[in-house]
Structure 1
Amino acid sequence: MRRLGSVQQKIPCVFLTDVKDEASRKREHQQFQVVATEKVNPLAIEANVDDALATEKLDGTCCYVTTYQGQPYLWARFDRKPNKQAEKRFKKHQHAHRSCKGFSWNVEEDFKTVPETWIPAHRVKHHNGHPVPDEHGHIPGWVPVERSNKQYCWHSSVVDYEVGEALVLKPSCDDENMLEITAVPLAELQELTLELIGTNVNGNPYGLGSKKQPVHCLVPHGCILIRNPPPVDFQQLCSWFQESSDGQVEGIVWHCNNGTLVKIHRHHLGLRWPDGESGLANRPVTIRLEGTVDAYNSKGLLASLLSLNGRSFSRLQDVQYEV
């Protein structure tokens, strides 16, 4: 599986941004909006974004595969956040300065405790042995997805640690227009970040499954390519999102040759998301699983989907299995 930039930190916008005095469409309780200007971010220019690989930005929750208790394990995103008093000071600073920048943290006292298994994300800065928050006041990190933790039941549904596999959605090897849902050894996903999408994640913009038959899967970051991407130009991107059938996506992430990642989100352009059916939901998909019911956890999604092995669906959102 092709390895592209790992999503460990917040990805900067491909354009320089500005702040508007309007309630955020994306972040609850944030009384300002971050919007894109028409000026390309110098970081993107330096990374030669025009030659970068344009991929679909997926609307789910970020995950990571790395070792835990001696074996490859799925980890869930868990940002360490400020306590109530620190959060209040931070919000006051945001309101006064219309920005998150310039706020001073007491890293030892201002943040909530985290589980003992928590690890900071790659490239988080440290000071005096303590991880330092980003400009939004969070310390990005990860916790292992243990089956006993009900908070991560939907994460757990896509992995089977006994057989060491995860349920992955990716382009088919045989046809670039076709998707496939398949079981991939966790060892092959080691050190990759992926997006968990599905029925109970972020309002399910891809129409996967139902309450009675929930469907979730992991999508490796960078694997869904944007076909015929527009140039990095503000007006052309606005038009593409609104007029092109390929623009029915949450956003674009550009993977630059030097490893830099930059993105554009519909909200940066003042556009709605979701806005009708997504392009991913309408792509055809084939189920390719090679295990046996006895091998997989009988209560897991891998076992449930095994009955569909070899079947193709004209749309991803049509995938259903017997309860």
Structure 2
Amino acid sequence: MPRLGSVQQKIPCVFVTDVKEEASRKRDGQQFQVVATEDVNPIALEANVDCAIATEKLDGTCCYVTLHRGEPHLWARLDRKPTKQAEKRFRKHQRSHKSGKDFSWNVEEDFKSVPETWIPAHRVKHQDGRPIPDENGHIPGWVPVEKSNKQYCWHSSVVDYSAGAALVLRPGSEDQDPLEITAAPLADLQEQTLELIGTNVNGNPYGLGSKKQPVHFLVPHGSVAVGDPPPVDLQQLRSWFRESPAGRVEGIVWHCDDGTLVKVHRHHLGLRWPDGDPCLASRPVVVRCPGAGHAYDHGDGLLASFLEMDGRRFSRLQDVQLEV
């Protein structure tokens, strides 16, 4: 499968959306819902979404591989967000103008501090040399994942910087192949974005690992294709999510020929997630971690654990358990 778009910004919905004043199905404590209308987003139409590649939207947290101190490194998503006072002013402006546009930000004072190592995401707009927020009031960005930072301990569990490798879950080379768990060189993942999924991420919808033996993987964005997706039509998509075995996914991300990304997730359509066993968790998987002589051969992390399981096959991803 070709390498597809990098997820650096918030991906717009494939449909024009509306805001309903009712409790969110997606976020606890959020008293509004963003729902899809029947109208296809003009951005999607302009990008010819009907010819786009449909891929599974994964339920985890976004990561990025790029250089840090001259070496390929895993970075965690960290959006710079406004202070409580600035957030209140912004939301009040949105309610009165139906949009966050034309709101005047003071980037120096209105936003929470971030670590010195923080970098803005690609395509963040700048003004007077400083990154400025998007229409949602956030400045998307990244921080390097360090072993010493407990906040990102699950990110750290999937990388071994001494070996320059990361634990990756990806489809096999052919459509009918099982998924494969492998140790991928960080250099091969450079400038890609990936989703961290697993035991301690987003409530673990895929049922991976256990509290005693947590399991996490990086999944390259755009790597998991959606087979025979329905047309971009609200009712057909809703039926597909409800009735098709292939529809047991959180959502779809369409990768258009011009690089545009658009998405839909179940919450846009008023549907629950997860609902039954997710499609990804039910797929067969093989461990391919031939690592004799590598630095992680002598470690005690996830990479070393899967090295011991090289060649093992499981009928479902959900059945993968670390050997104690």
Q: Same fold (TM over 0.5)?
A: yes
Q: 1:158, 1:216 within 8 Å by CA — same for their partners in 2?
A: yes
Q: Distance in 1 between matches of 2:210 and 2:117?
A: 32
Q: Tell me: CA distance 1:92–1:293, structure 2 relative to 1, closer, same or farther (3 Å).
A: farther
Identity %: 76
Q: 2:23, 2:33 within 8 Å by CA — same for their partners in 1?
A: yes
Alignment partner of 2:281: what SS? helix
Q: For 1:162, give the aligned amino acid.
A: S
Unaligned 5+ runs, structure 1: none
| TM-score in terms of structure 1 length | 0.96
Q: Distance in 2 between matches of 1:272 and 1:243?
A: 13
Alignment partner of 2:37: what SS? strand
Q: How far 1:174 moved relative to its partner? A: 4.8
Q: For 1:75, give the aligned amino acid.
A: W
Q: Distance in 2 between matches of 1:202 and 1:254?
A: 22
Q: Aligned pair 1:255/2:255, yes or no? A: yes
Q: What is aligned with 2:158?
A: 158
Alignment partner of 1:74: what SS? strand
Q: How far 1:75 moved relative to its partner? A: 0.3
Q: Distance in 2 between matches of 1:294 and 1:145?
A: 22
Q: How far 1:108 moved relative to its partner? A: 1.7
Q: Aligned pair 1:44/2:12, yes or no? A: no
Q: Distance in 1 between matches of 2:97 and 2:177?
A: 47
Q: What is aligned with 1:322?
A: 323
CA RMSD for the aligned pairs?
1.6
Q: Distance in 2 between matches of 1:250 and 1:100?
A: 27
Q: Which residues in structure 2 correspond to 1:137-286 (within 5 Å)?
A: 137-174=137-174, 176-286=176-286
Q: 1:32, 1:98 within 8 Å by CA — same for their partners in 2?
A: no
Alignment partner of 2:108: what SS? coil
Q: What is aligned with 2:5?
A: 5
Q: 1:72, 1:186 within 8 Å by CA — same for their partners in 2?
A: yes
Q: How far 1:42 moved relative to its partner? A: 1.1
Q: Distance in 1 between matches of 2:290 and 2:142?
A: 30
Q: How far 1:100 moved relative to its partner? A: 4.0
Q: Distance in 2 between matches of 1:109 and 1:298?
A: 45
Q: What is aligned with 1:120?
A: 120
Q: For 2:54, give the aligned amino acid.
A: A
Count of residues paired in the alignment: 323
Q: Distance in 1 between matches of 2:97 and 2:293?
A: 58
Q: Distance in 1 between matches of 2:101 and 2:25?
A: 20
Q: How far 1:31 moved relative to its partner? A: 2.3
Q: For 2:153, give the aligned amino acid.
A: C
Any idea what the Cα deviations from partners look like across 1:240-266, whole Å, max 9, x if unmatched? Answer: 000000000000000001100000011
Q: For 2:201, give the aligned amino acid.
A: V
Q: What is aligned with 2:109?
A: 109
| TM-score in terms of structure 2 length | 0.96
Alignment partner of 2:110: what SS? coil
Q: Distance in 1 between matches of 2:214 and 2:240?
A: 32
Alignment partner of 1:108: what SS? helix
Q: 2:82, 2:112 within 8 Å by CA — same for their partners in 1?
A: yes
